[in-house]
């Protein structure tokens, strides 16, 4: 498999170079030359397969010829000692992506990256320095995934005062080979600093740099696996039992179908629509890859907060990047989503509008949704997942959702945002993964949103 820049097809590279370089030399994002289909036998068995086997079949064609089969299997099984259960709340499905060590969907990409990078660089002498900008959950997942990995150091940039207290402890509480920089500015400022650092020829001569957020194709590809697993289960009419981290209240709420997590929302033989809380749009891009590989997905909903760049585009406006605005769903505070460039390189505007519906949600409606879902269905939503639930409500009311099951991606555990969730819904249950983080001391350096300041520290 070859990989090209979104801005040029003149200089193809292999998977290792695309992954370890992160950003293409011309500033574009790497994309695969094709999106390979699942074999027919795999496609027919997605609802029955173990998650790790689906991840292996998803990743395999993208790294063929570079990571041997037995090594890839070992990397996948080491990366995923956890699953992505598909549970029910009322008549909707919820794809729980917070059963990993940092209780956010970013664990699925970051942990595979860490294991893959370690193997791909097994014979290298120069250390690798990873730069990553985060609006919340990416930083914690990358820090956890790469913590203690020999020969790799990580610098995480996050916007000061715009991540939750628990997120900050995950980002800046490890030390060791993980450095945290608290930037005076927005996530867009952090992301611009990282891109400027990659474009600085002098810095790149002195350091071997790579990225680990969703601009890196090696983080995006593994995320396609949980879409395929969930879609396969939904298509087979199945849901999963609650996991240890499932944030369901002991009492199940007052809604007409509250408490019945067995089958509501799943209908055998019908592909689900999948609603994706979206910020930088890497997660939705991974979903589009899964659909094109053959996962039974009817359509997507791109759900954003008031940073509505992409929903406006999907509604027919010209694409126009904007400054980001702060919200309670902070990991989605992105006004210039990097992965839109990747999406637009694969598909035309007409194709994107056919596959995706868009909706945006205010903070007020996000709060109302957290409260209502807890009251009616006994289920706790974090602010990002609540944006997804409310966006689906909007489209259902307008008649734009269509028939068939609907799955909401729950991208982070509500206990990570207790300061928002608890006043609305009561204290959410805290999974063991987060209890281990609460006592950490924050160790971060504050810097202005200035490239020279970043270069000096690096």
Distance CA 237, CA 327 (A): 36
Query: What is the Cα Rg of the chain in Å?
Result: 20
According to the model, what pLDDT value does residue 96 have?
A: 98
Please state whether 130 falls in left (phi above 0), alpha (psi between -120 and 50) or beta: beta
What's the confidence (pLDDT) of residue 294?
98
Q: What is the pLDDT along the chain (458 residues), one digit of tens a residue?
A: 999 999 999 899 999 999 998 889 898 999 999 999 999 999 999 999 999 999 999 999 999 999 999 999 999 999 999 999 999 998 899 999 999 999 999 999 999 999 999 999 988 888 999 999 987 778 888 999 999 888 899 999 999 998 888 889 999 999 999 999 999 998 889 989 998 998 898 998 899 988 887 789 999 999 999 999 999 999 999 999 999 999 999 766 665 444 443 334 556 789 999 999 999 999 999 999 999 999 999 999 999 999 999 999 999 999 999 998 989 998 899 999 999 999 999 999 999 999 999 999 999 999 999 999 999 999 999 999 999 999 999 999 888 887 789 999 999 999 999 999 999 999 999 999 999 998 899 999 999 999 999 999 99
Cα 396 to Cα 373: distance, rounded to the nearest angstrom = 16
pLDDT digits (tens, 9 = 90+) for 414-439: 999 999 999 999 999 999 999 999 88
Helices 106-120 and 51-63 meet at what angle, rounded to 10? 50
d(CA 120, CA 126): 13
Classify strands 8-13 and 3-5 as parallel, antiparallel or unpaired: antiparallel
Q: How far, rounded to the nearest angstrom, does the alpha carbon of residue 121 sit from its chain's CA centroid?
A: 25
CA distance 43 to 232: 8
Q: What is the pLDDT of residues 444-455, one digit of tens each?
A: 999 999 999 999
Q: What are the pLDDT digits (tens) for 58-75?
A: 999 999 999 999 999 999
How far apart, in whole angstroms, are the C-alpha atoms of residue 58 and residue 124?
28
DSSP string for 27-91: S-BEEES--PPPPHHHHHHTTTS-HHHHHHHHHHHHHTTTS-HHHHHHHHHHH-SS---EEEETT
| Strand pairing class (178-184; 356-360) | unpaired
CA gap 438, 199 in Å, rounded: 37
- To 5 degrees, how large is the angle CA 186–CA 224–CA 437? 50
CATH of 82-104+218-431, one of 3.40.50.1100, 3.40.190.100, 2.40.50.100, 3.40.50.170: 3.40.50.1100
pLDDT, residue 289, reads 98
At 257 the pLDDT is: 44
Give the tokens for residue 372: 């209502």
Angle at 291 between CA 285 and CA 292, to 5 degrees: 90
Distance CA 105, CA 382 (A): 13
Query: What pLDDT does residue 313 have?
Result: 97
Whole-number pLDDT of residue 18: 95
């Amino acid at each position: 498999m070859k990989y090209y820049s979104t801005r040029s097809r003149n200089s193809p590279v292999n998977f290792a170079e695309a992954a370890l370089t992160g950003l293409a030399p011309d500033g574009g994002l790497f994309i695969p030359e094709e999106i390979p289909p699942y074999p027919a036998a795999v496609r027919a068995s997605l609802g029955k397969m173990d998650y790790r086997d689906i991840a292996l079949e998803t990743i395999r064609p993208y790294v063929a010829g570079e990571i041997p089969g037995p090594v890839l299997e070992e990397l996948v099984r080491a990366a995923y000692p956890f699953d992505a259960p598909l549970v029910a709340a009322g008549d909707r499905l919820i794809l729980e992506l917070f059963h990993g060590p940092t209780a956010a969907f970013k664990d699925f990409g970051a942990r595979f990256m860490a294991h893959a990078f370690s193997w791909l660089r097994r014979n290298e002498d120069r250390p690798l320095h990873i730069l990553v900008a985060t609006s919340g959950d990416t930083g914690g997942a990358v820090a956890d995934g790469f913590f203690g990995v020999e020969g790799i150091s990580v610098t995480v940039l996050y916007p000061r005062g715009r991540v939750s207290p628990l997120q900050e402890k995950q980002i800046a509480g490890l030390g060791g080979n993980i450095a945290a920089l608290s930037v005076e500015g927005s996530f867009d400022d952090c992301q611009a600093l990282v891109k400027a650092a990659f474009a600085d020829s002098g810095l790149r001569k002195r350091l071997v740099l790579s990225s680990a957020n969703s601009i890196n194709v090696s983080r995006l590809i593994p995320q396609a696996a949980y879409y395929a697993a969930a879609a396969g289960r939904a298509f087979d009419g199945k849901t999963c039992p609650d996991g240890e981290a499932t944030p369901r209240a002991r009492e199940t709420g007052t809604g007409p179908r509250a408490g019945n997590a067995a089958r509501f929302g799943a209908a055998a033989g019908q592909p689900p629509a999948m609603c994706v809380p979206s910020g930088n749009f890497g997660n939705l891009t991974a979903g589009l890859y899964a659909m094109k590989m053959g996962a039974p997905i009817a359509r997507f909903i791109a759900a954003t907060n008031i940073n509505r760049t992409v929903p406006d585009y999907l509604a027919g406006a010209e694409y126009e990047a904007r400054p980001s605005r702060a919200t309670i769903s902070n990991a989605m505070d992105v006004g210039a989503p990097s992965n839109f460039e990747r999406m637009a390189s694969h598909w035309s505007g007409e194709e994107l509008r056919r596959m995706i519906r868009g909706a945006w949600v205010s903070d007020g409606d996000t709060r109302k949704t957290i409260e209502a879902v807890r009251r009616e269905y006994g289920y706790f939503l974090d602010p990002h997942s609540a944006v997804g639930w409310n966006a689906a409500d909007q489209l259902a009311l307008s008649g734009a959702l269509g028939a068939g099951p609907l799955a909401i991606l729950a991208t982070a555990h509500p206990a990570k945002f207790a300061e928002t969730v608890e006043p609305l819904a009561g204290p959410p249950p805290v999974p063991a993964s987060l209890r281990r983080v609460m006592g950490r001391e924050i160790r971060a350096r504050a810097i202005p949103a200035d490239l020279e300041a970043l270069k000096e520290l690096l």
